[in-house]
Structure formats: structure tokens, C-alpha cells
Amino acid sequence: MLIEVKVQSLGLDRATSDPVVILKEADGPRVLPIWIGPGEASAIAIRLAGMEFPRPLTHDLLTSILAGLGGELRRVLITRMDNDTYFAELIIHRNGEVFSVDARPSDSIAFALRAEAGIFADDSLLEHAHVDMDEEGDAIDQEPRETLDPQSLQDYLKKLNPEDFGRFTP
């Protein structure tokens, strides 16, 4: 069974400094933490902070291309985990047809936020993660993480230089 989830927060795992997106069950207390890459974390953070750029970034471009081809991202499904890797599908509607496209959850979430599409996780993933939350919505008995509100994200992203991301070496 698929359960609708929302992006609750984006943070850093203090043990590894890896970005983590926390998805929260829309009508319940369960959460699903997914460790993601810095590029995808930036794409999600930019959208959460409501930042606009004069030229489209990758996920914005994907949204524009899909719309230009007459398609619409309707939902993202985070379907399973295999060897500590989550798998997702983009559900796209175009001219009365429905297409499913394999994708990484991190890219899928960034795309869904831009397309205002629903995000759904398989119930078994939420059960497997089993992170208990307190009344303020913080994880209980979990490794502490740093979270950023939208304004802090925006301020942080404005200060970044291309050099901050390191060099790309194929």
C-alpha cells in the first residue's frame, strides 16, 4: 500500500555530514529518512527556500521539457529498498497514457516539488524505518542532525561559490 508523504525537513547527518531528506507521513507520525547527495540536497533546498534563478536549473529544465512535450508528473512513488538503496518511479501522464520512469528518490523528490506532484512511499518502507517522533516532530533516540529553516537555507545557498562543491572528475 502506498502512503502519501511530505518533505518534513532537510538536514545533515552529524555522524557523516551527508544530507538527509526526512519524509513524513501526510496523515500520521511516521517518517522516512533518505540519505541523498549534495547536488540533490541543493536542488531540494532551493525549492523549499523558494529561490528563483534567471536560468533554469536541471530539475526546473526537466519540468519544462515534460510540460513542453505535453506530459505531467502526477506522482512520485518510492517503492522499495534493495541493498540500502531506495528506488522510485515517476508516474507521468501524457495524452491519456500513463508512463512509469525509474528514478532515484532524491531526483524524484526535487522534481515532484517543482511539478507540485504527490510523493508516496510504500507502507513497508515507513514501517522499516520506524523512527519515533516526539510532539514537536523531532526524532527520538536517533542520531542528532542539523536542520535548516527556509530562510537559513536561502542565506546559506546565497553564500556558496562553485568552488564549495569541489571539482568534478569523471
**Whole-structure pTM value:** 0.78
Regions of the chain with pLDDT less than 70? 130-170
The answer to whether position 147 is within a domain reads yes
Nearest 5°: the CA angle 103, 107, 108 is 65
126 closest CA partner among 15, 4, 8: 4
Domain count across the chain:
1
The answer to whether position 9 is within a domain reads yes
pLDDT number for residue 11: 87
Tallying the residues shown for the chain, one arrives at 170
- Strand 118-122 to 71-82 pairing: parallel
pLDDT number for residue 115: 96
pLDDT number for residue 17: 84
The answer to whether position 44 is within a domain reads yes
User: What range defines the domain where residue 39 resides?
Assistant: 2-165
**Which CATH number does the domain housing residue 112 bear?**
3.10.690.10
The answer to whether position 17 is within a domain reads yes
* CA 43 from centroid of its chain's CA atoms: 9
Q: Cell numbers of 47, please?
A: 525549492
The answer to whether position 170 is within a domain reads no
pLDDT number for residue 133: 46
pLDDT number for residue 141: 41
- In whole angstroms, give the CA distance from residue 79 to residue 91: 12
pLDDT number for residue 140: 39
